[in-house]
Structure 1
Amino acid sequence: MTKIEEKTGVGTAIVRLSVNLAADAMDTLRWLANRRGLSLTETIRRAITVLKFIEDEVDKGNKLAVVETDANGQERVREILLVA
């Protein structure tokens, strides 16, 4: 269940959002926030920004990849496949 309340003021509208998350998803969100010293709200904002970037790149026909470096300094590229 999601609850959304919008507040408008000077500049950007602020939306209050209530979302139900599974315990493991909440644990991950807290871990991410603590790792960077961020609030849960800022962590969610950043996650949305990253997902938007990924979607934009895929829409342009670009591929996403991870470049791994092994102990010898050799690089290996792995493509990231997104499931709809």
Structure 2
Amino acid sequence: MSTTEIRNAKKVRLNADLAPDVAEALQHLAARNGISLSEAVRRAISTEAYLQEMRDSGGKVLIEENGGRLKELVFVR
């Protein structure tokens, strides 16, 4: 299924109870990127799904710091 087909598929409405710090972080991400809270949630879920897929297939998640130094992100399950 293409990205366009997925976006045009029937949407599901969800309600979520978030801790105040999580809600604040979500609001900050949305404001910083000029997007809606719903879009911020979609992006967060898509990012987590991608990272999980990479980890499950044996991949590593690396962050390049200023100066070019690489650090591996380690996720606790």
Query: Does TM, normalized by the shorter one, top 0.5?
Result: yes
The partner residue of 2:37 within 30, 35, 40 is 40
Structure 2 residue 64 is the aligned partner of structure 1 residue 80:
no
Say which structure is richer in strand: 1
Deviation at 1:60, TM superposition (A): 1.0
| 2:70 counterpart letter in structure 1 | V
1:61 aligns to what? 58
Q: Mind listing any 5+ residue stretches in structure 2 that lack a counterpart?
A: 1-7
**TM-score, length-normalised on structure 1?**
0.79
**TM-score, length-normalised on structure 2?**
0.86
The partner residue of 2:46 within 31, 44, 49 is 49
Structure 1 moving runs of 4+ over 6 Å: none
Say which structure is richer in helix: 2
TM-superposition CA deviations, 1:30-70 (whole Å, max 9, x none): 00000011000001000011001101100110111111123
What fraction of aligned residue pairs are identical, expressed as a percent? 36
Separation (CA, whole Å) in 2 of partners of 1:42 and 1:33: 8
Query: Matches of residues 5-24 of structure 1 in structure 2 within 5 Å?
Result: 11-24=8-21
Aligned length: 70
Which structure: larger Rg? 1
1:31 aligns to what? 28
Question: How big is the alpha-carbon RMSD for the aligned residues of Structure 1 and Structure 2?
Answer: 1.0
